[in-house]
Homo-oligomer: A and B are copies of this chain.
Amino acid sequence: MTLIVKKFGGSSVATPEKILNVAKRVVNEKKPGDKVVVVVSAMGDTTDDLISLAKDVVGNSDINDKMYSREMDMLLATGEQVSIALLAMAFKVLGQKSMSMTGWQAGITTNEMHNKAKIKDINPERVFKELEEGSVVIIAGFQGNTDDGDITTLGRGGSDTTAVAIAAALNAEVCEIYTDVDGIYTTDPRIVKDARRMKEITYNEMLELARLGAGVMHPRSVELGKHYGIPIHVRSTFTSDNGTIIGEEYTNTMEEKEFVIRGVTNDMNVAKVAALGVPDKPGIAFKIFSALASKFIDVDMIIQSVRNPDEHMIDMVFTIKKEDIAQTKETLQDLGLNMSIDENVSKVSVVGVGMLGSPGIAATVFGALADADINIEAISTSEISISCLVSADKAKDAVKVIHDKFFPNN
């Protein structure tokens, strides 16, 4: 007997026809004795439609205001509830016993942080019972219940998180994430047509890729998979290709091991901040970055450059996310600093656990960019990644030339 959790996103269940196709696929792939749990998101644009209704109600007020957060969860949780009911019906049409469960029916308890709740506990008793009785159990993604019985939602990447958490609670063999791409690629196939699909990738590499701009998987679910040792299998809803398995280490093929670099990413959601003429005295960096940290502004790629020593001034350059620009400006102004902000930048990165044992990766990256006449405005590195800040209009070229170097087209 195998216990499998399968998660289908909103585009996979966008119409009644697609819902039926999901049910057909699950039934066809199910072997006798297999126990299958399906986690689903809201149909297609449902969540956007609900948000738009809420906006019409609150008018000039902001739906993200904390006073609305409980009610927004009450509202948005209906999207997944519609999907699970329809999908359960689709299984019955095919003669497969099935039962839908909301987050709370599936025993998912969260903390009380409405709109971005964290799962505290899962009591899978009822899910087990229904699986034992031969049902495919369909669970609403993205939602849970507080101890007080209030409905919560898990925020971005929430349905993937539900799927991996349920897989952990049930000690499932694997958590399959069905999506509109057919796996994890060495880079965005829309930018580089020779991008290769990987058969395997480690949790750590996947987390680093996600942090550096790869959009396929939200880091929360990958972290959860890593924590509980649940392999995550990313597959296409629309083809039967093998996809990519995210796991603790490589198990599979020589082919996978031959590339030290696992992916090249491009993150456009970056702005370069230059705080100019900062007085060069001890503690100034601490002052700046602790002020930013207190407002939860993520800072990366910090470069401190000394001007003429006689001036006793330094320039401090760093990157932030674009959504933090206004708050960053305010914070630096409060500190009495002048600044310039450049939004026309992009962060291009290479990721791979293999680089730990392979010197010269950085040199290869810089060489590829130099050959293509692309200027590097800042550099940052982690154990398993190297990132270069480049002009936004050069970003795609940068991805191409770096990818070509590490994955030569033969």
Contacts and interface: CB of A to CB of B under 8 A. Distances in A.
A285 interface: no
Contacts of A72: 85, 89
A50 interface: yes
Interface stretch (A75-83, A236-244, A379-387): A75-83
A61 B70 CA distance: 38
Contact of A89 (B58, B88, B99): B58
A309 interface: no
Contacts of A85: 54, 71-72, 74-75, 78
A67 interface: yes
Nearest to A43: B53
Contacts of A150: 105
Given A16-B56, A20-B57, A81 B82 contact: no
A149 B105 contact: yes
A68 interface: yes
A19 interface: yes
Contacts of A104: 149
Among A61, A70, A78, A102, max chain B CB count under 10 A is at: A78
Contacts of A53: 16, 82, 86
B93 A84 contact: no
Interface residues of A, number: 42
B105 A57 contact: no
A58 to B, nearest CB: 5
B71 A81 contact: no
A19 B71 CA distance: 14
A175 to B, nearest CB: 24
A78 B84 CA distance: 11
A67 B92 contact: yes
A32 interface: no
Interface in A87-124: 88-90, 92-93, 99-100, 102, 104-105
A59 interface: yes
Contacts of A90: 57
A100 B86 CA distance: 25
A202 to B, nearest CB: 39
A57 B68 CA distance: 34
Contacts of A92: 67-68, 71
A19 to B, nearest CB: 6
A294 B17 CA distance: 39
Contacts of A99: 70
B16 A57 contact: yes
Interface of A: 15-17, 19-20, 50, 53-54, 56-59, 61, 63, 67-68, 70-72, 74-75, 77-78, 81-82, 84-86, 88-90, 92-93, 99-100, 102, 104-105, 126, 149-151
14 contacts: A16-B56, A19-B57, A50-B82, A54-B86, A57-B86, A57-B89, A57-B90, A58-B89, A70-B100, A71-B92, A74-B102, A78-B78, A78-B85, A102-B151
Given A17-B56, A78-B78, 8 more contacts: A16-B53, A16-B56, A19-B57, A57-B93, A68-B89, A70-B100, A72-B85, A75-B89
